[in-house]
Structure 1
């Protein structure tokens, strides 16, 4: 009797029929498989972004302070940035001087008022 019980508990193996010629096996990706693939693709991007964010601030502030001193010119009545630029740097192109004055002084427009003090870029100092 033990032989009969033993033969009933052993699983039977079935032969898998061979695939026809030219047939392809289609693999399907499960939800968990898609999550794993997405994580594997995203991981290097996340690591790269973190490395860039942590190393992106390449400029290191030093404890030393440097003091920049500027020469200033006071805008007279009837002056424009063009006349100031010609007075400050007569040999330079006034358009370049005006662009430097606007940038250095943080002007919102090219309009100046009498009595306003403008810092002169070092390259135009006499």
Structure 2
């Protein structure tokens, strides 16, 4: 009769290769990058919602016509006010950089500057 001898397998530690370390680092960094991206996108949405600007209902929207500028719009909607102040307020309310508007663009006009009929 032959006898079998069973020897226990040696215990080895799990070794992480360089590729495995990169995968783990990526998996750890992925939620951080996603969270930052959502924070940036969410911050832009909060700015666009107008919560930092005028309360809802305190402005009227107009459509910019061909050839109109912020200056001409300011003179039309508030002839009694200083156009510089009106342009500054319209730019702030609409988050316009450089004060440039295009034909067909919808912009908000603060109700305080609307001319009385």
TM-score normalised to the size of structure 1?
A: 0.45
TM-score normalised to the size of structure 2?
A: 0.48
Which entry has the higher C-alpha Rg, 1 or 2? 1
Higher relative contact order (CA 8 A, sep 6+): 2
